[in-house]
Amino acid sequence: MTQSAQGAQVIYNCHKDAVEHIKTHRDKINAALQQCANRPIRVQTIDGDTYEGYITDVKHGCLYLATSQPGHDNRAFNPFFPQNYYYNNVILPLVLFELLVIALL
Segment 27-64, tens digit of pLDDT? 888 888 888 888 889 999 999 999 999 888 888 888 99
Topology (CATH level 3) of domain 2-104:
SH3 type barrels. (2.30.30)
Could you tell me if 65 and 57 are in contact, meaning their C-beta atoms sit under 8 angstroms apart? Answer: no
Q: Any idea where the domains of the chain sit in the sequence?
A: 2-104
> Residue 79's pLDDT is what?
52
**Per-residue pLDDT tens digits for 56-72:** 888 888 899 988 645 44
Contact indicator for 66, 90 with CB cutoff of 8 Å: yes
pLDDT band at 98 (very low <50, low <70, confident <90, very high): confident
Q: How many CA atoms lie within 13 A of 41 on its CB side?
A: 23
75 against 103, higher pLDDT: 103
